[in-house]
Amino acid sequence: MTAIRKTDSTAKNGGNYKGESLQGRVALVTGGSQGIGRAIAIRLAGLGVSVAICGRDKKALDSASAELKKSTGRVWAQTADVSRAADVSELVSRTESELGAISILVNNAGIGLFGPIQEKSETDWEQVLDTNLKSVFLVSRAVVPSMIQQGAGDIVNIGSLAGKNTFAGGGIYCASKWGLRGLSGCMAEDLRGYGIRVSLISPGSVATAFGRGAKDPAKALVAEDVAETVAAVLTQRRQSFLSEIDMRPLRK
């Protein structure tokens, strides 16, 4: 079982804040082979975390795994569809077998299909909702029992400002992210008594392959911005947690 380690948060006379140490912890980052997920995994590895990543593209997973191994020798990469319960069960089991008990879960896997609702199909609806919302339920459900046993843990859900705003053509995507916001809030209340912190990070436009027209870094967030925010959430002292964070680019 992986212990959650702490550092002294202040010096004797109210000195510098040091935050929570992540050294030696085990994290699972879904959708960790590219974009935001990859940046998060790399940031956590740099903080001494053993990192497991999953995705559906083996080539991208292999590339991300090789990069992660430059920061930490303890990496696990597995192809998985996190919208399928059987894949999730195997993913969690293999991760814990290879790295140890998961104490950090970053639910990052997500897709977007855009267009007027009358032009979208039932398959479109199921694909987006299963990936963006159902997967969070499935993976969290699989990981939480171990966190309860450890007496602590962190779950970070990567949402979107589309979870509180609407725009033309965003019906299915917004529905998934509004749902994620509700699920995250309820999970936080369900789990805080067990010492498990649940946070929702909602970025605006991010300059990744997924981003809708967010190609100018001067007018968009980059994946590393989100990764830094995840690190800030995880290094909060244990008596507090950041429940919701909205992220916006400085320039419009």
Residue in the block written with tokens 């010096």? 11
Task: Extract the tokens encoding 240.
Answer: 């507090």
239: part of which helix (H) or strand (E)? none
Environment class of 92 (CB within 10 Å of its CB; exposed 0-12, middle 13-18, buried 19+): buried
pLDDT digits (tens), the chain, 252 positions: 555 555 444 333 444 546 788 999 999 999 999 999 999 999 999 999 999 999 999 999 999 999 999 887 799 999 999 999 999 999 999 999 999 999 999 999 999 999 999 999 999 999 999 999 999 999 999 999 999 999 999 999 999 999 999 999 999 999 999 999 999 999 999 999 999 999 999 999 888 665 554 556 678 899 999 999 999 999 999 999 999 999 999 887
**pLDDT for 218:** 73
Task: Extract the tokens encoding 4.
Answer: 């959650």
Expressed as residue numbers, the domain containing 95 is 26-110+139-161+187-246
Structural domain tally of the chain?
A: 1
Average pLDDT taken over every residue of the chain: 91
pLDDT, tens only, 53-77? 999 999 999 999 999 998 877 999 9
Residue at 46 is within a domain: yes
Q: 38, 51, 60, 173: which is the annotated catalytic residue? A: 173
**pLDDT for 5:** 53
Give catalytic status of residue 194 as yes or no: no
Domain with 90 in it: what CATH number? Answer: 3.40.50.720
Count the Cβ atoms, other than its own, within 10 Å of residue 117: 12
Residue at 6 is within a domain: no
Q: In what order do the strands lie in the sheet with 50-55?
A: 75-79, 50-55, 26-30, 104-107, 153-158, 196-203, 244-247
pLDDT, tens only, 197-240? 999 999 998 886 655 545 566 788 999 999 999 999 999 999 99
Residue at 15 is within a domain: no
Residue at 115 is within a domain: no
Residue at 51 is within a domain: yes
Residue at 73 is within a domain: yes
**pLDDT for 139:** 98
**Collapsing DSSP states into helix, strand and coil, what is residue 201?**
strand
Residue at 104 is within a domain: yes
What CA–CA distance (Å, rounded) separates 190 from 74?
A: 31
